[in-house]
A and B are shown apart, each in its own frame.
Chain A
Amino acid sequence: MGGLRTAESLRRYKYPGHIHILGDEWHMPYNRPPLSKSLLAQDQEFAQVSFPIKSADLNTEFTLGDGVRQLSMEQQSVTLQSGKKIQFDFLVAATGLRSKKLVFPNNLQGGRFALRTFDDAKAIRQAVGSGKEVVILGSGFIGLEVAATLKGLGCRVKIVAMEDIPLGLILGEPFGEEIRRRHETKGIEFYLNNRVTDLVGNTAITHVKLVDGQSLTCDIFIEAIGSAANVEWLEGNELDLTDGLLTDSSLRAVKSNGTSVSNLFGVGDIARFPNIRFELPPRRIEHWNIPLESSRRTAREIVRQVVPGSIEGFESEDGFNPLPTFWSDQFEFSILSYGEPRLADEIRLLEGNLGEEFIFAYLREGSLVGVAGIGMKSKINEMRKDIIK
């Protein structure tokens, strides 16, 4: 997605050169949010999630199913898995994330899944069905969305998580408790403040063992414990690769010595960019709007270098400072959030009732840093402008 959006923006800003998108998946770029929802629920085809190529003048070469193995900044080239070498003037690193997976003493793979790609979603869809026993490890957004969708398909769903409260660290304890209550009402079983210590079975999983001694029946085990940035191919170039690719506020990669690299950019989930808005250390943001906004910014930066003065007002553009936004659909309710609620030192119920629709305001040192709620979308949308710039 970050790659495609960068190419689109480059053409929009009249970038005159050749554009080449490289990807390790065999699929053209596609939209991930439906993977845990409609794609899983309705077994949709790839066409339902692929991004349409909207522009006739995209004029971009795609190489799919052949990921980048190694970058050499010295040679200004990337080497692909196939051994093919490609030179570049500008390189945009948009290799995103992969699902984290645990290693168990009995490290069975049969019946074991994660959800990050289209193929992951298809594999889960083929395995599930009415009456299947599903154990989901992790009570973050993906875990909860998958739980809701699979419950709707007639599975028995249990969630095991280390937290005491689902999403409690992100949205606050009252919000998280309400989410748990809604899931329990629908029949989801929670094993919180808990861990899976081992898998049981011969070739396929039949049970999972918990740290508190319980054993849960399990046909399908889904690990939803977060993601790791795909940065290994960037190693050996004196870049700061601590949790993603560190960039400056123009999304240019930053070397270990603190200097910026003018022709290497981080876009999307892997970019760890400065937090200008809240004057806090650089961080990655795994929200859907970041690939789009970071690709636009990167395209402008590249065009500025190639054709100086071609974009009005861009020479003096401020640092990259997107407003993070996320949403989540679970059962019949949907969560919408702007800003960074997890930074709050004070949380206030602003409107509504927990059992129905509501909005929380998230404050840090008295300033609004985030807003989130269930329902009340137009009111939440209106409040986004009140979050500190």
Chain B
Amino acid sequence: MITIKVDMDKCQHYGQCVYEAPNIFKLNENDKLEYLASADETERENVKSASDICPMQAIQVFE
């Protein structure tokens, strides 16, 4: 399992992470980010990519 934490003070809801890891991140109908706080190993690379691509560098991944 991996654990995901988004610093919502930093997050600007651009949704770049949604494209990298669509099973974990989404923008809701109010354009706000929602995400799953944990995921299985198969999502590891996607979530890491999402963390890299985040303009605000708000996504942390714990393994």
Interface residues of A (CB under 8 A from B): 5, 8, 31, 33-34, 51-52, 54, 288-289, 292, 325, 327, 329, 334, 336, 375-378, 381, 384
Complex formed: what's the CA distance from A292 to B56 in Å? 14
Q: Contacts A8-B52, A334-B12, A377-B31 known; list 16 others, CB within 8 Å.
A: A5-B52, A31-B57, A34-B56, A52-B57, A52-B60, A289-B53, A325-B16, A327-B12, A327-B14, A329-B12, A375-B31, A376-B31, A377-B15, A377-B27, A381-B19, A381-B27
| B24: interface (CB < 8 Å) | no
Interface of A is mostly: mixed
Complex formed: what's the CA distance from A31 to B14 in Å? 16
Contact with A along B5-37 (1 / 0, CB 8 A): 000000011111011000000011101000000
CB distance from A9 to the nearest CB of B (A): 9
B48 contacts across to A, CB distance below 8 A: 54
Complex formed: what's the CA distance from A41 to B12 in Å? 16
Complex formed: what's the CA distance from A219 to B61 in Å? 44
A54 contacts across to B, CB distance below 8 A: 48, 51, 61
B27 contacts across to A, CB distance below 8 A: 377-378, 381
Complex formed: what's the CA distance from A289 to B13 in Å? 16
CB distance from B41 to the nearest CB of A (A): 15
B53 contacts across to A, CB distance below 8 A: 289, 292
A336 contacts across to B, CB distance below 8 A: 14
A8 contacts across to B, CB distance below 8 A: 52
Which 8 residue pairs spanning A and B have beta carbons closest together? A378-B27, A381-B15, A377-B31, A31-B57, A327-B14, A378-B31, A377-B15, A33-B55
Complex formed: what's the CA distance from A54 to B29 in Å? 32
Complex formed: what's the CA distance from A202 to B16 in Å? 48
CB distance from A204 to the nearest CB of B (A): 35
Interface residues of B (CB under 8 A from A): 12-16, 18-19, 27-29, 31, 48, 51-53, 55-57, 60-61
**Is the Cβ of B55 less than 8 Å from the Cβ of A378?**
no
A5 contacts across to B, CB distance below 8 A: 52
Nearest chain B residue, comparing its CB with the CB of A380: B15
Complex formed: what's the CA distance from A8 to B56 in Å? 19
CB distance from A285 to the nearest CB of B (A): 15
Nearest chain A residue, comparing its CB with the CB of B30: A378
Q: Which of A51, A327, A375, A376 contacts B55 (CB 8 A)?
A: A327
CB distance from B28 to the nearest CB of A (A): 8
CB distance from A386 to the nearest CB of B (A): 13
A289 contacts across to B, CB distance below 8 A: 16, 53
Complex formed: what's the CA distance from A130 to B61 in Å? 40
Nearest chain B residue, comparing its CB with the CB of A34: B56
Complex formed: what's the CA distance from A33 to B57 in Å? 10
CB distance from B53 to the nearest CB of A (A): 6
A327 contacts across to B, CB distance below 8 A: 12, 14, 55
Nearest chain B residue, comparing its CB with the CB of A51: B57
**Is the Cβ of A33 less than 8 Å from the Cβ of B56?**
yes
Complex formed: what's the CA distance from A377 to B34 in Å? 13
Complex formed: what's the CA distance from A115 to B46 in Å? 33
**Is the Cβ of B19 less than 8 Å from the Cβ of A377?**
no
A31 contacts across to B, CB distance below 8 A: 55-57
Cβ contacts A to B, 28 pairs, < 8 Å: A5-B52, A31-B56, A31-B57, A33-B55, A33-B56, A51-B57, A52-B57, A54-B48, A54-B61, A288-B55, A289-B16, A289-B53, A292-B52, A292-B53, A327-B14, A327-B55, A329-B12, A334-B12, A334-B14, A336-B14, A376-B31, A377-B15, A377-B27, A378-B15, A378-B28, A378-B29, A378-B31, A384-B19
Most chain-A CB neighbours within 10 Å: which of B12, B29, B53? B12
